[in-house]
Amino acid sequence: MSILIRGGKPLKGKVWCDGAKNAALPIMAGAILTDDSVEIKNVPFLLDVETMLSVLRAIGVNAVYSGRSAKMSPGRRLQPEAPYDLVRRMRASFLVMGPLLARCGTAAVPLPGGCAIGQRPVDLHLKGFQAMGATVSVEHGFIIAKANRLKGAEIYLDIPSVGATENIMMAAALADGETVIENAAQEPEVVDLANFLNAMGADIKGGGTTRIRISGVKELHGVEYSIIPDRIEAATFAIAAAMTKGKVTIENVIPTHLRSVLAKIKECGAYIFEGARSIDIEMLQRPEPTNIKTQPYPGFPTDVQAPYMALCTIAAGTSIISETVFENRFAHAEELGRMGARIRIEGPNAVIEGVPRLAGAQVQATDLRAGAALSLAGLAAEGETEVIGTEHIERGYCDFVEKLRGLGADVVSTEASNRFHRGIARP
């Protein structure tokens, strides 16, 4: 599948943000921590959510999705083994390890391995489980962790890993005694997970700071919980508005979650008004060049790096982007180059010399955020762009094409078009 975009139309109107993918996935995994039913609302309809539902079903949970709501209830006895095929498809499946270990005393989850944006090891997750008394071994490609009863521990994370903080927090929720995570990730999605677990009866303090304290409780109970809006989706639409000289209201967003991104878009020359749950953005000029450095929250999010690079390609000058979170997250640069962008990669830095206009082309999405970046480039480019590999976009953006169309973009979802394949519009 692909997206066909006829560029050059300013985006105008209102767009509604769905629930945060990166909050939904760990929270769904956290539902394993109770025998009661759990209902999670505002869950976006995404491929990654479907994959997590499949993982949960495979380990014995009744998991049903309808109307943006995911219901999880205990089915047969939990099978503490996650299937290779699903974990291979989505690394976030690894988030079932902590809850399984806490509930079953054992968990077997395939080694997630590397992916398109880098090595992405899980050593910090495992270090946390070991500190809580688990034995960890690797057998036939599976990581196997065992602990009759997890014990509270002091855990220092070398890197404030989002996934490790979440996995350890979930395991610690049912452990004996207190666990302290030092240098914890402060992302809003970590806070949402802590709030969700507390609503189930957990005792977690310090979510959103670098020191999280979890006092283990005997059991957790069922809950109905609504997750936070997706700040990465909101950032993507804000950048799209800025790139197309548009005027857009983004609804269902928590502006404080977007401080770093909005600061940069303002620096580019956009007018931004923050409401309580909305953001108005208007751009009247070509973007000024800006430099960004990706960092853990509250720094500039690595997930917005690719879309932001698309914006820099049409800035009136040279911008520098430093990627410090993942080591190999510039695959979109080469594809943007096919549209006329001038980007030089120098180690962890991308030097982007802005051009007045990009030219539509056929490009390939290599991962989720790269797919978003190429689509934004297509919206601002002259002529037609075809972004191939939309399955990546569907992993993380709900109704992406429909929402862009709602803002007046000339965009359709299609089978890969043969016009480009015949080479007519190929640069």
The residues carrying an active-site annotation are: 115
Question: What is the rounded CA–CA span in Å between residue 70 and residue 96?
Answer: 16
The DSSP element (H or E) to which 240 belongs, if any, is helix 231-243
Q: Which residues bind ligand UD1 (CB under 6 A)?
A: 22, 25, 91-92, 118-125, 159, 161-164, 185, 189, 302-303, 325-326
Q: Which is nearer to ligand UD1, 119 or 209 (CB)?
A: 119
C-alpha angle 418/423/427, rounded to 5°?
125
DSSP assignment of 322-382 equals E--S-SS--HHHHHHHHTT-EEEEETTEEEEE--S--B--EEE--SHHHHHHHHHHHHHSB
- Closest listed residue to residue 293, CA positions, set 259, 313, 320, 332: 320
The DSSP call for residue 178 is E
Full strand arrangement of the beta sheet holding 135-139: 106-110, 142-146, 135-139
**Minimum distance of ligand UD1 from residue 171's CB (angstroms):** 14
Q: How far apart are the first and last CA of the chain?
A: 21
Strands 154-156 and 178-182, sheet pairing? parallel
Q: What is the DSSP letter of 425?
A: S
Shortest distance, CB of residue 116 to ligand UD1, whole angstroms? 12
Give the distance from CA 339 to its chain's centroid. Answer: 26
Query: Which residue has 């399955």 as its token pair?
Result: 391
Residue nearest to ligand UD1 (CB): 163
- Give me the least distance between CB of 157 and ligand UD1, in Å please: 8
Task: Give the CA distances from residue 408 to residues 58, 60, 114, 383, in Å, rounded to whole numbers and listed in that order.
Answer: 41, 44, 38, 16
Which residue, 91 or 245, has its beta carbon nearer to ligand UD1? Answer: 91
In the complex, the smallest distance separating the C-beta of residue 333 from ligand UD1, rounded to whole angstroms, is 17
Displacement of CA 115 from its chain's centroid (Å): 14
CB 203, min distance to ligand UD1, A: 23
281 strand-pairing partners: 248, 272
- Whichever of 302 and 313 has its CB closer to ligand UD1, that residue is 302
Q: Would you say how long the chain is, in residues?
A: 427
DSSP letter for 103, please.
Answer: H
Q: Which is nearer to ligand UD1, 122 or 170 (CB)?
A: 122
Determine the Cα–Cα distance for residues 151 and 133; give it in Å rounded to an integer: 6
Q: Which is nearer to ligand UD1, 155 or 262 (CB)?
A: 155
Q: Return the number of the residue (64 or 159) whose C-beta is nearest ligand UD1.
A: 159
- CB 51 → ligand UD1: shortest distance, Å? 11
Nearer to ligand UD1, 165 or 364 (CB): 165
Q: Which is nearer to ligand UD1, 196 or 420 (CB)?
A: 196
HSE-CB of 155 using CA atoms within 13 angstroms: 35
CA–CA distances in Å: residue 76 to residues 35, 66, 70, 318: 11, 22, 18, 58
CB of 158 to ligand UD1, least distance (A): 7
- Shortest gap between Cβ of 170 and ligand UD1 (angstroms)? 13
Distance CA 89, CA 73 (A): 24
Q: Which residues are CB-neighbours of 77 under 8 A, at least 6 positions away?
A: 60
